[in-house]
Structure 1
């Protein structure tokens, strides 16, 4: 997590763009991405020179030609304003446009890079401010870039590109990716899901990531992201780079198009928040997706796409609008039937409607499913999230300390007490052991509890009543309800019995009250009469 001082430095960079007349947050982020890319190339050049000096061998893997020092960040940052502007605009940017390293995702997305900073004074200010931000440590690089991306979400309609980070983290924690996984997000945006997956894998499988075959897979084959917005691709690629992934597969692609059908069954995990109401060229939509679900609704087509992309045994955690859960069209019903009957629907986690405010008030849920091609749904686990740690209004104000926001990883099964102690709602020694949040905290943030109960979905959760916040529903009950997956279809509401008094009892009480009032008035009259004498 970045410090207050680092935040102030990033804020200063952002303010410099705004005061200089660049108000579009995506354009600001894009220009910062270009400059950070140039700064990184200079760092690589420095490392290449140091290796050459130590080994006494010729320079290898140097990004810049050795006779073009003026292209380097460490050199031009010391130029006078006009000279710096001329160098960066006329030499550095044309150079990175012509980089054609086929193995470099980042160089590929720089081919149409252009400097949008309008004058020399502003460029000097921005370069100076970026140069003061320490970005040597991997975690710091990633945290700083994430903080910048958060500014996109707080700057207007462009926030639609960014799923709340604590929701992403919950989904990744629940999916628990491993080094052998091949993960895809077909609507990757800024690559938030992929970045969270890299952080989880580094934290839980550090030894495998740092050396051997696991390291090669992690850096070259594990992460795949597709989008058809080049700005998002540039930002997403840089996000992955600054989180320490050398060559992720981040590509321009219309994931629903007929032309992109060659990687069916290629992935073991899907993490995504696909567009709910995007424009669709129905004629160019993949025919195999239309055969699965004949519709123009992008949220349904993306679900069909996820099933196509997954290999048998592959798993998915995806955000869908509530309409997917209960929509009455033939396409809605057939897709839900497929998830339940033909594959294994693991869970439906209902999110509160304010999660995506202020940009959208749509109600959503997270679907968890496994591709089997042979059924396997015994029961479906439901959880009704009522609080996510933030206010559910347009301000989205944190309700808890930062340490209590987001999910808290569940303790490994070998370290847990007997699961029977979890049966009592919020009580019992086991529940206290596994959930460090108090009852008051839970009322403000359910996410740690979601993760805790998810680990018990095939155990203690099976015994929960449908009156509780989470419960399991057998497959046959879902079939009987026409494959409706809305939580309220299965949740039971307990109404407390209210005992009403009979009319005669109420009249008797009113009569007593009336007699008391009359008696009081009589005493008051006597007191007034006595005082008059």
Structure 2
């Protein structure tokens, strides 16, 4: 129902001078979607209050409400083109009045968890990049056709929005930063198995894929209104440093059915680790923290193991933030298993001594489109040291990429074997007591036989002759170009 609306909006943004890529498309669609959602939410609250015989005071002043500036209607409920601003008037209103007004909500918010605070955060970070008021007017009319009233409508829009995030990830620019493949996330969630009443945390949540999939997994187990309320208000917690990822995460969770996401806009790594109390800790951590980044020296001082590598700092944060008995599934670059620098060795030692690192899933390159890095998933439980580690190294029989993405079926054997830590051609177990002094956890499958295909001498000679001819041709062209 809404697919054509999303396509029409994208077509208009494609013509916009201020929007040049998928990142811009998602950003601009997100702030418009958020304001439309906010209007629907306030209407629902107003109707519910009326049924109780109470008055409801809207958060947004009348002149800044969707129905006033974005989609004014006639008495018949049809678009009122006479009242609707367009052209320069519309752009001036959005840039000079609407955004500054919404940005101020952060100052008067009662807490960082309030809706007012989130409004202020979002519009303090983003800018309207739509330069043509005529294009914006057309987009607003299309957006007004979207509805957040029913669970079916939210479900359809969540799929469309996920598709936009996926395409943004595939666009290459910071792709993995915003999009972890959903089949991988769903597999991690299945293995960690979060339960209603537990808290779920992602300290670098990006587009909130882990939190959304955890919600989808857990809501199937809801048995009463109390459990439903628990999932809505006190289960999912996220933090995100970057402004665009923050709003995408908020919007993604809203569309998946969590109406007031507990996502904070903050740099997790700057928080004082020494000040973490038991009440701050979480039962479950699901994350794909950024790796390859660097943090300043003053940030590193916050951690026991000093390193500029962001992934290593996040790993220390995760271990600190887990409750005793808490469980984690974390995607991380595979070099964390084998690097011989002091920080890497110290991190592995700390993980093995303070947590039960029971499972390592080795992922082939190509899982993260365009990222070009090898990753693993570490599954661990806090509170007792590691005795044995079960490894799984899938053999898909094909190269992964944009045209051959990872599927849940690819990881079905992993999920099945992991339950009992069964050894197979693709899986094996090691003892921590057998590790060397560097705690080397490299993925070395002892059960997979590697067959080397030997070529016939005639094939090798043919290949050498072909390469010689190519070299001669290149040399001739080079000589010709010099003359």
Structure 1 equivalent of residue 309 of structure 2: 297
Deviation at 1:73, TM superposition (A): 4.4
| Corresponding position: 1:267 with 2:282 | yes
The count of corresponding residues between Structure 1 and Structure 2 is 429
- The 2-side partners of 1:142 and 1:406 are apart by 19
What CA distance in whole angstroms lies between the structure 2 residues aligned with 1:121 and 1:260? 50
SS in 2 for 1:23: coil
Aligned to 2:395: 386
Q: Counterpart of 1:474?
A: 431
Q: Does 1:37 align with 2:34?
A: yes
Which of structures 1 and 2 has the bigger CA Rg? Answer: 1
1:67 CA drift (Å): 7.3
Segment of structure 1 superposing worse, 191-200 or 25-34? 25-34
Q: 1:123 aligns with which of 113, 136, 150?
A: 136
**Following the alignment from structure 1 to structure 2, what is the Cα–Cα distance between the partners of residues 497 and 13?**
53
| 1:491 equivalent among 431, 446, 454 | 446
Q: Assess if the C-alpha contact under 8 Å between 1:29 and 1:148 holds in 2.
A: yes
Name the structure 2 match of 1:200. 217
Q: Counterparts of 1:120-199 in structure 2 under 5 Å?
A: 120-136=133-149, 137-161=153-177, 162-199=179-216
Separation of aligned partners in 1, 2:359 and 2:184: 15
Query: What secondary structure is seen at the aligned counterpart in 1 of 2:223?
Result: helix
Residue 283 in structure 1 maps to residue 238 in structure 2: no
Which residue does 1:224 correspond to in 2? 237
Deviation at 1:484, TM superposition (A): 1.9
Which residue does the alignment assign to 1:406? 407
Equivalent residue runs for 1:410-449 within 5 Å: 445-449=409-413
Greater Cα offset, 271-280 or 41-50: 41-50
How large is the Cα RMSD of the aligned pairs? 2.8
SS at match of 1:181: coil
Tell me: CA distance 1:12–1:391, structure 2 relative to 1, closer, same or farther (3 Å). farther
Give the structure 1 partner of residue 374 of structure 2.
363
Q: Cα 1:217–1:108, aligned 2, differ >3 Å: closer, same or farther?
A: farther
CA contact (8 A) 1:191 1:225 kept: yes
1:18 to 7, 14, 17: 14
CA shift, 1:449, in A, is 1.2
Residue 15 of structure 1, CA deviation: 2.4
Which residue of 81, 92, 104 corresponds with 2:86? 81
Q: Displacement, 1:323?
A: 0.8
In the other structure, the counterpart of 2:348 is 336
Assess if the C-alpha contact under 8 Å between 1:348 and 1:485 holds in 2: no
Deviation at 1:177, TM superposition (A): 0.9
Contact kept in structure 2, 1:349 and 1:367, CA below 8 Å = yes
Q: Is the 8 A contact 2:241 2:266 kept in 1?
A: yes
What's the counterpart of residue 315 of structure 1?
327
- Structure 2's unaligned 5+ residue stretches are 74-78, 454-483
TM-score by length of 2: 0.80
Q: CA deviation at 1:98?
A: 3.0
Structure 1 residue 81, shift from structure 2 partner: 2.8
* Greater shift in the superposed pair: 328-337 or 43-52: 43-52
CA contact (8 A) 2:40 2:148 kept: no
- CA distance in 2 between counterparts of 1:156 and 1:328 reads 31
The equivalent of 2:477 in structure 1 is none
Task: Give the secondary structure class of the aligned counterpart of 1:96.
Answer: helix
1:460-489 Cα distance to aligned partner (Å, 9 max, x none): x1xx35xx1112223323x3575221221x
Q: After superposition, what is the alpha-carbon deviation per residue over 1:309-344, rounded to whole angstroms, capped at 9, x for unaligned?
A: 111111111111111111112322232223223321
Which one of the candidate residues 98, 108, 132 is aligned to 2:104? 98
User: Equivalent residue of 1:226, what SS?
Assistant: strand
Q: Counterpart in 1 of 2:47? A: 50
After TM superposition, give the deviation of residue 366 of structure 1 in Å.
0.4
- Deviation string 1:347-380 (CA, Å, 9 cap, x unpaired) is 000000111132x2111100001111x42x2321
Q: C-alpha distance in 2, partners of 1:286/1:255?
A: 14
Deviation, structure 1 residue 68: 6.4
Partner of 2:258: 245
Partner of 1:271, secondary structure, is strand
**Matching residue of 1:63:** 59
Distance 1:72 1:260 in 2: 46
Looking at structure 1, the residues matched to 338 and 119 of structure 2 have their Cα atoms a distance apart, in angstroms, of: 45
Of structures 1 and 2, the one with the larger relative CO (CA 8 A, separation 6+) is 2
Structure 1 runs not aligned, ≥5 long = 400-404, 408-444, 499-533
CA contact (8 A) 1:264 1:311 kept: no
Change over 3 Å in CA distance of 1:300–1:284 after alignment to 2: closer
Is residue 382–residue 470 contact of structure 1 (8 Å, CA) maintained in 2?
yes
Following superposition, the deviation at residue 91 of structure 1 comes to 4.5
